[in-house]
Structure 1
Amino acid sequence: MANTVNHSPAGEGQFASRLFSQLAKSQPGRNVILSPSSIRTGLALAYLGAEGSTADELKEGLQLEGAGKSEVAQQFAHLLAKGQGKDEDGPKLNYANRIYVAQQLQLAQSYQDLVSKNFAAAAENLNFSQSVEAARRINSWVEEQTHQQVKDLIAADSLDGNTAAILVNAIYFKGDWQLIFPDYGTLAREFANYGGQKVSVDTMSQEDYFRFAELPELKAKALELPYFGSDIVFLIILPQDEQGLAALEEKLNGLDLNEISSQLARRKVKLQLPKFKFEFDVPLQPALEELGIKKLFGPEADLRSMLRESGKLRISEVKHKAVIEVNEQGTTASGATFVKAELESLVLGEEVLEFTADHPFFFAIKDSQSTFFLGHVSQL
């Protein structure tokens, strides 16, 4: 069976949910955004070079059960292909993954072949002892891959002659809403931050048909904003209680977001959503260790399949940074023009539901297969 690898939504969804839960709990008052699919892809690069219990931990932690390395690589190649050569009008989605390995260590040809075929030139030697130049090389590559959105991922002072390998991953997403928000609907409205402080923020507004549901078991409601020309959606889960985000996220831990999406139905909704832009970067080692991925970072790391000769290699850092901007046009950079197609005529007297995101909420950018981003807005 060529297709036994657990790259099913369940495998990725479980990893996404557990990782997000770890990070959200550790940063309750901070706006969080991360890309589970990007992080998992980057770590799959390490898995392809790992052996023994290091490989077992990665396979388990990333939920990659049941396949050989070449099958795992093929599955990820399929995921990465989703972002390439898309319809010009649809969202842009680019993954960037690379392992930088100290110059004195030679990468094994078989590893190079496996990753360059499936992950597009993903391993490179670098002289870490020249830390400023090494950081510049890494950062400019990431910047280029993310259309200048993600800058300064690695600080020069985190690299030195003892750095063995750095795993870098980035993702860029830009999508326009299927239903753009009219500029005239954006007004200053009140938002209750984490902790209760009220602030005035530019809040977008529109009334239209959206997939929506009340979720009494989560004490929340959910709504999906679709992106134009794509099956990717922006899912918002808004707790009923103003300060109910932590309790909601506790319940979401381990839950498959597709189960929530399946409960949504087309309803007429008056939607109010704040404009926001923020970036989030975090060293992932502590959260990954909580998920059982520990050996990768320690002296007993076994990454011998990555190297030509049997040098000792461990991953010294896994760094992730994501940037998000949500505005009237869509998500991330704006500027494309889009003529809205006429919707079916509004039924007179139909009940209009309210969805007012005026306090901390959870969001995801996803399709039925992958979770591209997870995040929460705690304060504006």
Structure 2
Amino acid sequence: MYVPLLILLGISRYKAQKNQQWTEGFYTAIVSSFANRSIMFSTEMIRSSMLFIYVGVEEDESEQIRKALHYQGTHLSDYKPEAQKIFDMSAQKAPVAKSLTRFYVRQNLKMSTEYRVFMRHTEGRARNIAFNRETLDKVNTLYSHEMGEHFGQVVKESWWKPNSQGVLINAIFFNLSWERTFNPEATYPRQFRVSAAKEVLIPMMHEDSKFAFGTLGHLKATAVLVPFSQGDLQMLLIKPDQPDGLAHLQGKLTGMDIVSVARNLTMMDVFVGLPKFRLHSHLELTSALEKLGIKDIFKPSKSFSTLLHRNTNFRIDGVIHVVTFEFQEQGIGMPSTDVGNGSLTHTFNGVKYFLATHPFAFYIIDRTTIFFAGHVTSF
């Protein structure tokens, strides 16, 4: 690995080039691993977090990560993921989004001096820890303090085992109101079809106004853009025509330019209905990473020779990615925008409908970048 050279040069981040193939592959691996759960994730931030493992491992394990995540080059100094710009935004003197990464290594496995120096040059930190209930509470308290109490518990007790050796944790919140607040008076129950055999009654927000909308015949789906209050940020929602069509739709979306899909939508009168709920997406990514070909880091080996002070057996026991988002009338935080019309408060001809009453995919984007992706499948 390049760690000693990187430290000598005072370099702190990894130079990585965009690779659409990597993005597509990881998107598919994640959505297929959590097909029956409502999830939200950032592939870029997962990729950034995995550098903490990559720079500490050698041999076949290193090559598996490099190939799967398409790391290229030898310099960390210029690496800044496109998603970083969303973390640089602020609204009402608060960050729009915040990310925190920590890499925990078993207490009796001393990390090398080189690796510790590298960690001082990153936004995240690596530290030795005892994997017990007391430290679990401290880790969750740290994330609560840094991310806000609303974030909730990050690390589940089932992921924090006494025999754990290495656990990588990345958590993100997204905190921004809609461009136009959904009228709370137009929130009322609707049936959401989870599957052919199951429906649940959930609160749905409604708004009739002008939205960018499109019927995607080649995908057998419809799409709508719901804008946020700043930064050209928008949520693109894509709903399959059939209630059981999400997996097929996501398979087709994998090879598409999602931002281009949004650009090709047309402003028109649309009646939109969205579920109202809080999405707290807990993802343990071992299975998704294994689908990409990253397998050996989860087995004991002596390949972590850059990470550890002594060459000894080591394994990664968990790669955790947690994201929170609220489908609420105002978005997240105090609303700073006008309240919408609500539910059919005026009439017009040729109205289109986007009622999210069965599983759908979504993306948070601007004009060039996908910041988050996810799907809503159940409640």
Question: Does the alignment reach a TM-score above 0.5?
Answer: yes
Quote the offset at 1:191 in angstroms: 2.3
Distance in 2 between residues matched to 1:365 and 1:146, nearest whole Å: 20
CA separation of 1:248 and 1:11: change in aligned 2, threshold 3 A = closer
CA distance in 1, matches of 2:376, 2:355: 14
Q: Of the candidates 115, 118, 141, which is equivalent to residue 119 of structure 2?
A: 115
| Residue of structure 2 in register with 1:21 after alignment | 31
Contact 2:87–2:98 (8 Å) recurs in 1 = yes
Aligned to 2:206: 205
Give the aligned partner of residue 153 of structure 1.
Answer: 155
* TM-score after normalising by structure 2: 0.84
Q: Which amino acid aligns with 1:124?
A: R
CA displacement, residues 63-102 of structure 1 (integer Å, 9 cap, x when unaligned): 32x221525xx42477446414635368621111111112
Structure 2 Cα separation of the partners of residues 123 and 77 of structure 1: 20
TM-score by length of 1: 0.84
SS in 1 for 2:243: coil
Partner residue in 1 for 2:92: 88
Aligned to 1:126: 129
CA distance in 1, matches of 2:81, 2:193: 42
The number of equivalent residue pairs is 362
Match for residue 187 of structure 1? Answer: 188
Distance in structure 1 (CA, Å) of the matches to 2:238 and 2:361: 5
Question: Residues 150 and 15 (structure 1 numbering): CA distance in 2 closer, same or farther, change over 3 Å?
Answer: farther
What letter matches 2:153 in structure 1? K
How many Å separate the matches in 2 of 1:167 and 1:209?
A: 43
Q: 1:364 to 1:251 in 2, by over 3 A?
A: same
The code of the aligned residue for 2:55 comes to L
Q: 1:242 maps to what in 2?
A: 243
The correspondence of residues 286-305 of structure 1 with structure 2, limited to 5 A, is 286-300=287-301, 302-305=303-306
Deviation at 1:289, TM superposition (A): 0.6
CA distance 1:376–1:142, shift in 2 (3 Å): same
- The one-letter amino acid of 1:120's match is E
Q: Which moved more, 1:82-91 or 1:263-272?
A: 82-91
3-state DSSP of counterpart to 2:361:
strand
Aligned 1:131-150 pairs, distance under 5 A:
131-148=132-149, 149-150=151-152
Q: CA RMSD in A?
A: 3.0
Q: Residue 243 of structure 2 contacts residue 358 of structure 2 at CA under 8 Å; is this kept in 1?
A: yes
The equivalences for 1:357-372 within 5 A come to 357-368=356-367, 370-372=369-371
Aligned to 2:3: none
CA distance in 2, matches of 1:229, 1:106: 45
Question: What CA distance in whole angstroms lies between the structure 2 residues aligned with 1:304 and 1:123?
Answer: 16
Unaligned runs of 5+ in 2: 1-10, 342-346
Which residue is 2:337 aligned to?
338
Deviates more, 1:302-311 or 1:234-243: 302-311
Aligned to 1:67: 73
Measure the CA separation in 2 of the matches of 1:231 and 1:40.
24
Identity %: 25
Q: Measure, in 1, the Cα distance between the counterparts of 2:240 and 2:79.
A: 35
More displaced stretch, 194-203 vs 81-90: 81-90
Q: Tell me, what secondary structure is at the counterpart of 1:217?
A: helix
Distance 1:60 1:256 in 2: 22
Q: How has the CA–CA distance of structure 1 residues 378 and 4 changed in structure 2, closer, same or farther, with 3 Å as cutoff?
A: closer
Match of 1:345 in 2: none
Report the CA distance shift for 1:262/1:169 in structure 2 as closer, same or farther (over 3 A). same
Letter of the structure 2 residue corresponding to residue 54 of structure 1: E
Deviations 1:93-133 (A, max 9, x none): 1111111112223333333333332x3242112123xx112
Gap change, CA 1:185 and 1:7, over 3 Å in 2: farther
Task: Give the partner amino acid of 1:32.
Answer: I
Aligned residues of 2:180 and 2:338 also touching (Cα < 8 A):
no
**Is the 1:365–1:373 Cα contact (8 Å) retained in structure 2?**
yes
Structure 1 unaligned regions, length at least 5:
343-347
Letter of the structure 2 residue corresponding to residue 356 of structure 1: L
